[in-house]
Amino acid sequence: MMISSPSRCVLIGCAISAVLGGCGAPGAIAPQIAVVQPRAAHRGQSWMLPEARQRDLLYVSNWNSGAVTVYTYPEGSLVGTLTGFTQPYGECVDKSGDVFITNDNASSVLEYPHGSSSPIATISDAGEHPAGCSIDPITGDLAVNNAYTVSNQPGSISLYRYTRKHGWSFPETYSDSSFFYMYFCGYDNRGNLFVDGYTAYDGTVVLAVLPAGHKTFTNLSLQQAINIPGGIMWDGRYMTVADSGLQPSVVYRFVVKGSAAEVIGTTSLSGSDVVQYWVEGNRIVGPQPTSDSVGIWSYPPGGQAIATITQELDTPSGLTISRH
């Protein structure tokens, strides 16, 4: 069940603070991607260019400004801004391209259709601080990992199911006594849900899996120290987990054998301080809060960023890619 040495920063906001305050100056990054000045930007209001619906889009949560900025992918042209959030954080996307954004300090998750400036659903996560999210590729269920409760009780998984008649259900809640703080979650291709976090403040990092169809977690041993747990994602072949406490950040690829998670590959993201990330084919994209930028790297080689986006970013924390 052990994974790493303790860290002094365990809250979701503190994960960013640890990166901002403890990693030093970022390394060299590639030149900024050329961007197109938006024609319909209105400060304080959500907006989206009409042509965004016909493009692949990159959504980026900006923790400090409370906005989600939207760019064409991979070009990086700003085509929209979603406003009204209070500390937006993790993101995920379903098969239809709908984007889900956790609204950490408002205990909710918002669902936006691809290229839309208005949400079609506000999913209540009452009493919780939602951090990350993931869509089950088998059932379409939405899993939200709650970092901890608003009354400072241990975090959990809120699992939502959707029906055309009733919309998103009230959540089923799953917890694991090994966790106090749950940071991120991610499904693999078989509907197994992986979660990372901490045992307590100043505690040990924990990695666990909720097997498909089960109601209890299996804690995993990972023979690789993790300083600050980052995002978790299926890359199309392997489960991956980030260590955002390193400089540069590292994303590990692993396979599970029984209760052991064996690392079989490493991707180092130079010049980065990535917390969440998104793997899309042979590219990995990650927010870099210390430099208010988003980096794009080759995957799995990593190394130096092949491109960066910097326009309208303010402590970027999470992101996802929605295909049109």
Q: Which helix (H) or strand (E) holds 12?
A: helix 12-22
pTM of the full structure = 0.89
Burial level of 39, CB count in 10 A (0-12/13-18/19+)?
Answer: exposed
Query: What confidence tens digit (pLDDT) does each residue in 159-214 have?
Result: 999 988 788 889 999 999 999 999 999 999 999 999 999 998 878 999 999 999 99
Predicted local distance difference test score (pLDDT) of residue 166? 80
- The C-alpha atoms of residue 272 and residue 198 are separated, in whole angstroms, by 23
Domain residue spans of the chain: 12-322
36 close to 77: Cβ distance less than 8 angstroms: yes
- The C-alpha atoms of residue 167 and residue 299 are separated, in whole angstroms, by 36
Q: In this structure, what DSSP letter does residue 217 have?
A: -
Give the fold, CATH level 3, of 12-322: Neuraminidase (2.120.10)
The residue ranges of the chain whose pLDDT is under 50 are: 1-11, 18-42
Q: What angle do CA 211, 268, 13 make, to 5 degrees?
A: 65
How far is CA 220 from its chain centroid?
A: 21
